């Protein structure tokens, strides 16, 4: 099981003093979509008979996501410590389920999910929890795309109640080893914390933990080189996809040279478009998985 450390969420509002909610080591907040007045349909039961039972809520709605270096941890191992903390803070669990018991595909697409790449949900590997404390409600959605885990929290505070305390994140310096272990064992690894705008080749600002780890690995192993290989889904012509995937691989190579001091002759950048999919491109989730940049180990 992964360790837990000080990524802090000041969580409670009103007359109860603010407390800490501890997130997993290696967690990084990806997004915060807070609306001062909005509505949210809180699921309170599984999808069945073409219906998802919900509790309709209105108020200040916070939609926050994290990405976690989860390694081999299961979705239950990610959820359980968060559930314990929520219960300790006075929330009652209204509904909890795991993938198929939730309603599988139907539940996933009937409930609200922050758009990709800020949140990822594997249809066969997710857990959901909804809870309430008086008029305050929240939900947690947990999923995985190894070596990463994803956490989504949606919290609703009724208008007129005391504003909840601000989100305070304490940066955690950690050294997850799962990515490097996978590189050693398999000879290649997906750099799954990278993000690009749809259809563009510009790499986001970061910082990206995977690039720092890869740079450290190259420094410790001077007889190795890497090929950075871009991949796409099958939307559009092959030539266009090869161009996009090559551009993205080149953007990653440039970032590693400029930001991490890796020698240029130790990095190659290639793009192969949609020629090596991880899974079927027939679903949105499949296409999302197939859009990636991998690091491939080259030994001199």
> Is there a single domain that holds both residue 25 and residue 82?
yes
Q: What is the CATH number of the domain that holds 35?
A: 3.40.1000
Question: What 3-state class would DSSP assign to 197?
Answer: coil
Task: Find the mean pLDDT for residues 188-213.
Answer: 81
Predicted pLDDT of residue 30: 86
pLDDT bracket for residue 178 (50, 70, 90): low
Q: Are residues 57 and 196 in the same domain?
A: no
- In this prediction, residue 163 has a pLDDT band, given cuts at 50, 70 and 90, of low
The conformation of residue 157, written as its DSSP 8-state character, comes to: E
Predicted confidence band at 268 (pLDDT cuts at 50, 70, 90)?
very high
**Quick check: is 147 in a domain?**
yes
Write the pLDDT tens digit of every residue in 107-135.
999 999 998 878 999 888 999 999 999 99
Note if the bond before 161 is cis, omega within 30 degrees: no
User: What does pTM read for this prediction?
Assistant: 0.56
Q: What angle do the packed helices 238-260 and 209-220 form, to 10 degrees?
A: 70
52 and 143 inside one domain: yes
- Tell me: do 278 and 237 sit in the same domain: yes
Give yes or no for a contact between 215 and 261, defined as CB atoms under 8 angstroms apart.
Answer: yes
Q: Are 244 and 285 in contact (CB under 8 A)?
A: no
Helices assigned H by DSSP within the chain: 75-88, 99-102, 104-110, 178-186, 209-220, 238-260, 284-290
Give CA separation, 8 vs 11, 137, 142, 172, 216, in Å: 9, 20, 18, 10, 27
In a domain, 163, yes or no: no
Residue 143 sits in the same domain as residue 225? no
Q: Which of 157, 191, 212 is the last residue of a domain?
A: 157
Q: Kindly state whether residue 170 falls inside one of the protein's structural domains.
A: no
Q: Does residue 169 form part of some domain?
A: no
- List, in sequence order, every residue forming a beta bridge with 188; answer none if it has no partner: 296
pLDDT band at residue 10, thresholds of 50, 70 and 90?
A: very low
pLDDT grade for 242, boundaries at 50, 70 and 90: very high
Residues 199 and 289 in one domain: yes
Same domain, 147 and 184: no
68 with 131, same domain: the answer is: yes
Task: Provide the CA 174 distance to its chain's centre, in angstroms.
Answer: 17
Per-residue model confidence (pLDDT) at position 214: 92
Indicate the range of 66-70, 75-79, 241-245, 296-300 predicted with least confidence.
66-70
Q: Of 94, 122, 157, at which residue does a domain stop?
A: 157
**Between 31 and 171, where is the model more confident?**
31
Question: What pLDDT does residue 71 have?
Answer: 61
Q: What does the DSSP 8-state code read for residue 265?
A: G
3 state SS of 215? helix
Tokens found for residue 212:
């720092």
When mean pLDDT is compared across 225-229, 259-263, 279-283, the lowest value belongs to 279-283
The three-state secondary structure class of 50 is: coil
Residue numbers of the domain that contains 220: 178-299
Of the listed ranges 10-14, 245-249, 296-300, the least confidently predicted one is: 10-14
Q: Does residue 183 carry a pLDDT above 80?
A: yes
Sign of CA dihedral 71, 77, 82, 85: negative
Read off the pLDDT band of 182 (50, 70, 90): confident
Q: Which of 64-68, 141-145, 152-156, 192-196 has the lowest mean pLDDT?
A: 192-196
pLDDT, tens only, 20-77: 567 766 678 888 999 999 999 999 999 999 999 999 999 999 999 998 876 657 899 8
The confidence score (pLDDT) of residue 166 equals 47
pLDDT of the residue at 139 = 97
pLDDT at residue 102 above 50? yes
- Alpha-carbon torsion (204, 181, 269, 190), positive or negative: negative
Looking at per-residue pLDDT, the higher value among 29 and 247 belongs to 247
Structural domain contains residue 118: yes
Cα separation, 171 vs 167, in Å, equals 13
Residue 17 confidence (pLDDT): 36
Residues 22 and 65 in one domain: yes
Same domain, 144 and 184: no
**Claim to verify: residue 110 and residue 247 sit in the same structural domain:** no
Please classify residue 143 by burial: count the beta carbons closer than 10 Å to its beta carbon, then call 0-12 exposed, 13-18 middle and 19+ buried: buried
Mean residue pLDDT across the chain: 83
Can you give the CATH number for the domain in which 189 is found? 3.30.1330.60
What SS3 state is found at 250? helix
Q: Which of 126, 157, 188 is the last residue of a domain?
A: 157
- Total structural domains within the chain: 2
Handedness of CA 104, 110, 114, 115 (dihedral sign): positive
Give the residue, 18 or 79, on which the prediction is more confident.
Answer: 79
């Amino acid at each position: 099981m992964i360790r837990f450390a000080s990524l802090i969420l000041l969580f409670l509002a009103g007359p109860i003093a603010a407390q800490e909610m501890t997130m997993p080591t290696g967690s990084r907040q990806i997004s915060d979509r807070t609306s001062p007045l909005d509505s949210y349909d809180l699921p309170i039961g599984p999808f069945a008979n073409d219906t998802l039972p919900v509790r309709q809520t209105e108020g200040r709605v916070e939609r926050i996501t994290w990405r976690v270096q989860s390694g081999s941890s299961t979705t239950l191992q990610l959820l359980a410590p968060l559930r314990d903390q929520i219960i300790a803070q006075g929330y009652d669990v209204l509904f909890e389920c795991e993938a198929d018991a939730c309603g599988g595909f139907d539940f996933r697409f009937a409930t609200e999910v922050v758009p990709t790449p800020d949140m990822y949900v594997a249809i066969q590997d997710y857990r959901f929890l909804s809870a309430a404390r008086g008029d305050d409600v929240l939900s947690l959605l947990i999923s995985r795309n190894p070596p990463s885990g994803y956490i989504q929290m949606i919290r609703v505070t009724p208008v007129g109640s005391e504003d909840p305390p601000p989100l305070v994140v304490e940066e955690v310096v950690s050294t997850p080893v799962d990515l490097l272990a996978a590189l050693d064992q398999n000879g290649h690894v997906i750099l799954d914390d990278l993000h690009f705008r749809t259809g563009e080749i510009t790499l986001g600002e970061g910082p990206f933990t995977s690039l720092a780890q890869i740079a450290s690995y190259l420094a410790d192993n001077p007889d190795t080189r890497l090929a950075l290989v871009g991949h796409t889904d099958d939307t559009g012509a092959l030539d266009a996809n090869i161009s996009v995937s090559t551009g993205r691989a080149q953007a990653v190579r440039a970032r590693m040279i400029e930001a991490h001091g890796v020698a240029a002759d130790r990095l190659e950048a290639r793009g192969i478009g949609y020629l090596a999919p991880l899974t079927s491109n027939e679903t949105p989730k499949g296409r999302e998985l197939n859009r990636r940049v991998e690091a491939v180990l080259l030994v001199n």
